[in-house]
């Protein structure tokens, strides 16, 4: 496994590696969900291709300085995980290497990012789009794999690739969950034992609400009310948003006539978690 820390090293190393190349962008603190993305990347490129991973905690996508400060950075464990997953190349730059002191160009998405996480985290998706595009430009990857857990991020990246004619295939991988249903996240390790024990109720609440679809319900309000009923049983979880949106354009919908997403974000203390479930009419 090759590890490189700056763009010159990366470009030199890439010239020696076989194609096709599939990129798995991460912010480190790797868990089984990330490893699933790496295994998917290997399936895509085959035994003779290259699986590349970036480990970079991108400061421009954090709207809260405390969140950036406390984001876990277990580099040694992350490198071991990449090696065990058969990754060929790991790129682990510093913020100074990725962003010049006077950098002044960002990529902004003006529609999909207005809803859900974008509404409550100003500038977040500009940071995501900018760093992802930088990685695409550096790696010249044939494909890239992203987790569907961050479904809004995935939708925005797909839109960016479409609108800017980026020659890369974007692959979405299903959310990887713990046995109890909690979506795997690097932030989970910051939960207290009590919070970690309760957090699976997020997915259970969404599933209980989605079950109304089986009984013929198509209006959003009753489904949202059902999810809220279950979520409010917790005295620890603070809701950021609970919404039903169109699966393609992410606009809120009042009547579910085509695929939609029941989406949730909220906090245990300072730890922000997201989850969602697909609604199919």
Sheet containing strand 271-279, edge to edge, reads 237-246, 260-268, 271-279
- Residue-level length of the chain: 281
**Annotated catalytic residue within 34, 124, 173, 276:** 34
Task: Break the chain down into helix, strand, coil percent, rounded to 5.
Answer: 45, 20, 35
CA 11, 17, 21, 25 dihedral sign is negative
How far does Cα 126 stand from its chain's mean position?
14
Return all residues near 195 (Cβ < 8 A) that are at least 6 apart: 236, 268, 269, 271
User: Is 70 tagged catalytic?
Assistant: no
For Cα atoms 41, 261, 27, give the angle at the middle one, nearest 5 degrees. Answer: 40
Q: Which residues are catalytic?
A: 34
């Amino acid at each position: 496994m090759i590890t490189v820390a700056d763009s010159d090293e990366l470009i030199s190393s890439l010239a020696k590696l076989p194609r096709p190349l599939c990129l798995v962008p991460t912010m480190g603190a790797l868990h089984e969900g990330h490893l699933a993305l790496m295994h998917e990347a290997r399936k895509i490129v085959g035994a003779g291709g290259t699986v590349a991973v970036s480990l970079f905690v991108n400061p421009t996508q954090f709207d809260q300085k405390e969140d950036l400060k406390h984001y876990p950075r277990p580099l040694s464990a992350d490198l071991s995980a990449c090696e065990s997953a058969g990754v060929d190349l790991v790129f682990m730059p510093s913020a100074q290497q990725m962003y010049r002191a006077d950098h002044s160009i960002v990529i902004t998405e003006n529609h999909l990012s207005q809803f859900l996480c974008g509404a409550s985290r100003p500038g977040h998706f500009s940071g995501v789009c900018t760093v992802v595009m930088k990685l695409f430009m550096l790696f010249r990857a044939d494909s890239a794999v992203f987790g569907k857990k961050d479904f809004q991020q995935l939708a925005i990246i797909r839109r960016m690739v479409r609108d800017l004619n980026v020659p890369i295939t974007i692959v979405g991988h299903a959310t990887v969950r713990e046995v109890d249903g909690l979506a795997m996240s690097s932030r989970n390790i910051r939960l207290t034992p009590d919070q970690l024990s309760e957090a699976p109720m997020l997915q259970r609440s969404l599933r209980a609400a989605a079950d109304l679809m089986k009984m013929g319900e198509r209006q959003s309000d009753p489904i949202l009310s059902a999810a809220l009923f279950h979520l409010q049983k917790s005295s620890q979880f603070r809701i950021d948003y609970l919404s039903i949106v169109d699966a393609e354009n992410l606009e809120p919908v009042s009547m579910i006539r085509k695929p939609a997403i029941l989406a949730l974000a909220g906090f245990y203390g300072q730890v922000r978690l997201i989850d969602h479930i697909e609604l199919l009419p």
